[in-house]
């Protein structure tokens, strides 16, 4: 084999290793979040926006950020659950970085689109991390501001990624479908969240937040499996299988 061929093979092997490492890191982040979330749920004393006296955590009626409160909505201290929830959300926010980096590998024919997805996604991940590090019970309006700044680039990044996936994914377009569902759910939830920011929102806002979270985890798993299973099909020489 020629020197150029050997060098090309080495570069391709290195790229494959990076893709698989990023895929593994993303899955690990999603898994760690789920475990920490479940532990935080068990530690949460109680209370929701609609029933401060409610006992324990209610999956569909509690916001995700409720778990990160040092003092739960029922007035009881939540020192352990607060740390567990914050750790889980930090891990998830960091896990979004490999997601945004990996997505363009699934639509290699659209390089500029991929670059835009990575830039917008990185901004969204940074905003999500800021929202986690500034919980609403201690930072008040700054928590809402960080969410307001994080969501728009994230939504635009998802929109572009869904477009790229729809162009190059083969039927059934699972990645594009999950991404589109998450885009719609998150967009509606974001609008409702800020519409009711000065008052008590309807419970559908908390429900949609959880639906969007489930779809995000499913999207992370789908992207991870696709690029890890066929890294050779994401090197720009062909669409994903």
Structural contact between residues 86 and 132, judged by C-beta atoms closer than 8 angstroms: yes
pLDDT-based confidence at residue 88 (cuts at 50, 70, 90): very high
pLDDT digits (tens, 9 = 90+) for 126-183: 888 888 888 777 777 777 788 777 889 999 999 999 999 999 988 789 999 999 999 9
Report the range of poorest mean pLDDT among 12-16, 153-157, 219-223: 12-16
Identify the pLDDT of residue 80: 96
> Whose CA is closest to 54, among 72, 70, 79?
72
Q: Kind and range of the H or E element at 15?
A: helix 3-43
Identify the three-state secondary structure at position 156. Answer: helix
Q: Report the distance separating Cα 224 and Cα 95, nearest Å.
A: 11
How many CA within 13 A on the CB side of residue 213? 20
Identify the pLDDT of residue 231: 56
> Whose CA is closest to 216, among 10, 34, 6, 7?
34
Structural contact between residues 48 and 66, judged by C-beta atoms closer than 8 angstroms: yes
Identify the pLDDT of residue 239: 44
Cα dihedral 218, 26, 154, 83 in deg (nearest 10) = 100
pLDDT-based confidence at residue 39 (cuts at 50, 70, 90): very high
Report the range of poorest mean pLDDT among 82-91, 167-176, 231-240: 231-240
Mean pLDDT of all residues in 7-24: 75
Mean pLDDT of all residues in 89-95: 94
Identify the pLDDT of residue 238: 41
Identify the three-state secondary structure at position 133. Answer: helix
Mean pLDDT of all residues in 23-31: 94
pTM confidence score? 0.86
- The answer on pLDDT for 78 being more than 60 is yes
Question: What is the pLDDT of the chain when averaged over all its residues?
Answer: 87
How many CA within 13 A on the CB side of residue 56? 7
DSSP state, 53? T
Mean pLDDT of all residues in 98-127: 94
Report the range of poorest mean pLDDT among 5-9, 67-71, 226-230: 5-9
- The answer on pLDDT for 240 being more than 50 is no
Q: Report the distance separating Cα 215 and Cα 104, nearest Å.
A: 19
């Amino acid at each position: 084999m020629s020197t150029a061929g050997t060098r090309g093979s080495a570069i391709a092997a290195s790229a494959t290793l990076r893709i698989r490492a990023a895929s593994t890191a993303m899955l690990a982040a999603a898994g760690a979040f789920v475990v920490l979330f479940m532990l935080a749920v068990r530690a949460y004393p109680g209370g929701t926006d609609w029933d401060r006296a409610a006992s324990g955590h209610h999956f569909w009626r509690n916001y995700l950020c409720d778990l990160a409160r040092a003092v739960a909505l029922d007035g009881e201290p939540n020192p352990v659950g607060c740390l567990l929830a914050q750790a889980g959300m930090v891990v998830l926010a960091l896990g979004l970085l490999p997601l945004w980096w990996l997505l363009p590998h699934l639509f290699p024919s659209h390089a500029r689109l991929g670059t835009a997805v990575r830039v917008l996604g990185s901004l969204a991940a940074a905003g999500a991390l800021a929202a986690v590090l500034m919980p609403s019970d201690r930072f008040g309006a700054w928590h809402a501001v960080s969410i307001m700044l994080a969501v728009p680039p994230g939504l635009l990044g998802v929109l572009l990624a869904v477009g790229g996936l729809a162009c190059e994914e083969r039927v059934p377009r699972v990645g594009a479908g999950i991404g589109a569902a998450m885009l719609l759910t998150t967009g509606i939830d974001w609008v409702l969240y800020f519409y009711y920011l000065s008052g008590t929102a309807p419970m559908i806002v908390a429900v949609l937040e959880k639906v969007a979270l489930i779809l995000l985890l499913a999207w992370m798993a789908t992207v991870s499996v696709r690029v890890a299973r066929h890294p050779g099909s994401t090197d720009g020489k062909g669409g994903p299988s």
